[in-house]
Structure 1
Amino acid sequence: MIETQIPMLEQALEQALSVWKVENKPQLISITEKMDAIDPFIFFDRGTKWKGKRIFWSSSQESFFLVGVGEAISIDSNNQDFLQTEEQWKSLLKEASIYNAFQVPGTGPVAFGGGSFDPDKKSTKLWKEFKETQFRIPSYLLTITNGETYVTFNAMVASDEDTVSIRQDMLLAKQYLLAEQKGLPAGPSIVQKEEIASDQWKELVEKATNEIKSGQAKKIVLAREMRVDFEEDASLSSILYQLHESQTNSFIFAFENERDCFLGASPERLVRLQDNELLSTCLAGTAPRGVTREEDEKIGAALLADEKNREEHDFVVQMIRNAVEACCEQVHVPSDPVLYPLRNLQHLYTPVQAVLKKGYSILDVVQRLHPTPALGGLPREESMMFIREFEQLDRGWYGAPIGWMDAYQNGEFAVAIRSALLQGKSASLFAGCGVVKDSEPEAEYQETMIKFTPMLSVLGGS
């Protein structure tokens, strides 16, 4: 990688410097090379040299990986306006020097990030390291797709002095990221576990059902927190590997800021865009998996026939259909859901396919879709007001969009559920459920316990 990049690097630096001297604006340079196979988890682990600035994304079904180390530039905002992010991203790309002969989705300059669930709710110190909206273009990006491996080097050039440090950085990449691959550290071990205000949460479920019965809302999604402590700082690379191995049909993600890292295994795709073809998915309605095949099929059939879960699912389908139709054409939505099996859970699932209209981007769709009824409720404003006023949890990035977009109008976002915020020797886990008129507090509590399971299992708990 390093040797073959040098001629392109010198050309990119020369071009960026010439533009900077005329316009006095920092320039992004981006160079992509095809590589031999690299283990994504070891690449992430090697990135501890740049600890606090790592990202991870994988789609288990498609064997697609993005692993970022370092930060060439960050696009941040103190409000959750994804369209403002879009403007800054386009401006950055317009002046960039991009050397990418492949233009494969997920290569070249890629912005990875997300934002808070509700910027109108006052944040607490729990999420102090995370902005309302934050996207990172990593210094080094590993992309694995269709069995091929690519590495992209990104850097900002704003002076002659930058060129010296950029050359040195590339040597560091060779030394730390592409050296001989070894195994991963051991995973964490939980020594203490605490459910935060579980009795008060059940009371809140009852309050929400009364609100719904009085006609103030149709559905309100309530979330809660579990706090765990470890013997020592948890190894992120080991956790990500275990999530990838255990949570099939999921999107594995991580966004690291300093000593804090938000990570998870979400089964819920918000939207994918590739070659203008859009796919969104409706995932609402939950049941556990059975121990035997017969039990599993019986539980699945009961979920498909359950009136409460079907109603909850239909809320999500109608909202996503309406949002997609506003900026797409050729919208196709199946009439009935199917089962979406995970290791610990199964859900009702309906895909929404469409073609994006000219003039729109993936962030336009994200802005319209968030929050979906699966994470907020219906009607949107009424349910969000209830959550904002009565839910004690600071959701932060939990339940919000997280994902990536490249320079070629490709990208993918998931809803950040089945997740945890790791902070050294401690972690906060998050889980929620949709409350409707027939909800029972104890049943909803048990549903959240099931939803804690994917994260608990990889953090050394049960």
Structure 2
Amino acid sequence: MLHIKVPQLEEIVEGAISQAALQGEPQLISVVNEIDYTSPYAFLDRAQAVDQHRLFWRSAGEDFAMVGVGAAHRILSTDSHRFREIESVWNELQKKARVYDPSHVKGTGLVALGGFSFDTNQSDLTPWESFPDSQMTIPAYLLTNKGTKSYLSTNLLIFEEDHKQQIIHQINEQQHQLLHGDRQELKLPNRTSSMEMEAEKWKQSIKQATDDIKKGKLGKVVLARELRVKFNAPVELAAVVEELCETQSNSYVFAFENGGDHFIGATPERLVRVEKQELISTCLAGTIPRGKDEEEDHILGQRLLNDPKNRQEHDFVVQMIREAVEACCYNVEIPSAPVVYPLRNLQHLYTPVTATLENGYTLLDVVERLHPTPALGGMPQKQSVDYIRKNEALNRGWYAGPIGWFDGHNNGEFAVAIRSALIQGDEASLFAGCGVVEDSDPEAEYEETAVKLKPMLSVLGGSL
């Protein structure tokens, strides 16, 4: 990847057209400019007039957000080795790309955002037809906000038959729309109906799973259920994203739009982050509601810390992540006991994992080793995923899969796509799951999933 001082855009495009003709293949270019601070929600809203492929990411625990529009390049894979295939294509793209980025700020320039399905062997595509099994997108335009600073990356695939002035005119028009275009007042959706999908059948599947665990068929399995809701009008993506960011401050907020369908959520669960070879992962398993006040909060938190079922569920995750991280890292540090991690509606057991990534390993290597963790699949890993495929009534699609980003500076972060919804026009499917062990109670697990549905329900028409 070539980093040089940024000349005029016209000169860059003209040079890329010449190189495309000379080399007989299109040229990927990336130009980064620092701009006046720009609201990510305004950018996301205005982007609907530019392209129906929008992407949003807001990190938990730091003031960092990205909004992508359109696609300079999409990296797709349906291969069983999908993480390695996408890594290989990404590396080739970087080698050939010409990047004009004087800032070198993480999340600028060539950045790929996207996600992976939970299970590559799921045969029924419904209702995920718009979301490929694995897709990472290099946006045509990318707004990156870090603290009070904003950066705009413009990524283009230039062909030898392209005309310089036509490209420049299009870029100027689209950038003006994204940064200064008119906006309408954003409104949260008004829900008109909701329907739980086979709730009693789902409870029976929990009972069956506990019996199978007692018989030694597996150690733990996570089973999810679906809630379908309908609205009086198509959902405005930017309104929902902004509300999630304001109400779920400790969560990763994400949105991926394909062909007008939106997969959106606010997940507390980081899978892994890598920045300058320093790795952070998170063990987040075990759940209890928040209390009505500080005293009740503390009582519930202590109950969670001392609950054998939740501690066992959490320990499954800790041991699996330890094994995966130790295989490709050194300086691995894991606390001996979890602490309580509060969210707006829930409290979780939380154990952080820090390490240094060994040379030769990448973020996607770690993602491949970690997915799915016992918090989303179960134990043992393969048996639990097979069990889910055979016994869960829904197609998870990207729900519970890894979603995130990586850039050309070896930075990146992936979270687990829970607390989420697939929005299709004026309808949506919401998903929530729970970890089943041998002493799980179907009614208690049902109530736990009801609490987990609240963050998305709160922005999609309020509580049930």
CA shift, 1:222, in A, is 0.2
In structure 2, C-alpha distance between the alignment counterparts of 1:88 and 1:153, rounded to whole Å: 20
Native 8 Å contact 1:155 1:166 kept in 2: no
In structure 1, C-alpha distance between the alignment counterparts of 2:76 and 2:289, rounded to whole Å: 39
| Per-residue deviation, residues 23-48 of structure 1 (Å, max 9, x unmatched) | 32221100001111100000000001
In structure 2, C-alpha distance between the alignment counterparts of 1:70 and 1:166, rounded to whole Å: 15
Native 8 Å contact 1:331 1:352 kept in 2: yes
Partner of 2:248: 247
Partner of 1:21: 21
CA shift, 1:182, in A, is 5.5
Q: What pairs up with 1:266-285 in 2 under 5 angstroms?
A: 266-285=267-286
Say yes or no: does 1:9 pair with 2:9.
yes
Q: Which consecutive aligned stretches of 4+ in structure 1 deviate over 4 angstroms post-superposition?
A: 180-184
Say yes or no: does 1:440 pair with 2:425.
no
Q: What pairs up with 1:308-319 in 2 under 5 angstroms?
A: 308-319=309-320
Partner of 1:387: 388
| Per-residue deviation, residues 371-424 of structure 1 (Å, max 9, x unmatched) | 000000000111111111111110000000000000010000000000000000
In structure 2, C-alpha distance between the alignment counterparts of 1:393 and 1:331, rounded to whole Å: 37
RMSD, matched Cα? 1.4
In structure 1, C-alpha distance between the alignment counterparts of 2:185 and 2:313, rounded to whole Å: 41
CA shift, 1:165, in A, is 3.9
What code does the residue aligned with 2:461 have? G
Native 8 Å contact 2:6 2:31 kept in 1: no
What code does the residue aligned with 2:420 have? S
In structure 2, C-alpha distance between the alignment counterparts of 1:346 and 1:26, rounded to whole Å: 50
Partner of 2:55: 55
Q: What pairs up with 1:408-423 in 2 under 5 angstroms?
A: 408-423=409-424
Partner of 2:98: 97
In structure 2, C-alpha distance between the alignment counterparts of 1:20 and 1:77, rounded to whole Å: 26
Aligned pair count reads: 458
In structure 1, C-alpha distance between the alignment counterparts of 2:227 and 2:197, rounded to whole Å: 6
Partner of 1:137: 138
Native 8 Å contact 2:223 2:435 kept in 1: yes
Cα gap change, 1:6/1:368 in structure 2, threshold over 3 Å: closer, same or farther?
closer
Native 8 Å contact 2:270 2:282 kept in 1: yes
CA shift, 1:444, in A, is 0.5
Partner of 1:158: 159
Native 8 Å contact 1:15 1:97 kept in 2: no
Q: TM-score, normalised by structure 1?
A: 0.97
Native 8 Å contact 2:46 2:181 kept in 1: no
What code does the residue aligned with 2:29 have? I
In structure 2, C-alpha distance between the alignment counterparts of 1:418 and 1:270, rounded to whole Å: 14
Say yes or no: does 1:331 pair with 2:332.
yes
In structure 2, C-alpha distance between the alignment counterparts of 1:162 and 1:73, rounded to whole Å: 19
Structure 1: where are the runs of 5+ without partners?
none
CA shift, 1:15, in A, is 3.5
CA shift, 1:59, in A, is 1.5
Q: Percent identity?
A: 51
Cα gap change, 1:184/1:56 in structure 2, threshold over 3 Å: closer, same or farther?
farther
Native 8 Å contact 1:12 1:97 kept in 2: no
Native 8 Å contact 1:60 1:244 kept in 2: no
Cα gap change, 1:227/1:325 in structure 2, threshold over 3 Å: closer, same or farther?
same
Q: Secondary structure at the match of 2:301?
A: helix
Q: TM-score, normalised by structure 2?
A: 0.96
What code does the residue aligned with 2:226 have? E
Cα gap change, 1:144/1:184 in structure 2, threshold over 3 Å: closer, same or farther?
farther
Structure 2: where are the runs of 5+ without partners?
none
Native 8 Å contact 1:27 1:95 kept in 2: yes
CA shift, 1:159, in A, is 1.8
Native 8 Å contact 1:42 1:183 kept in 2: no
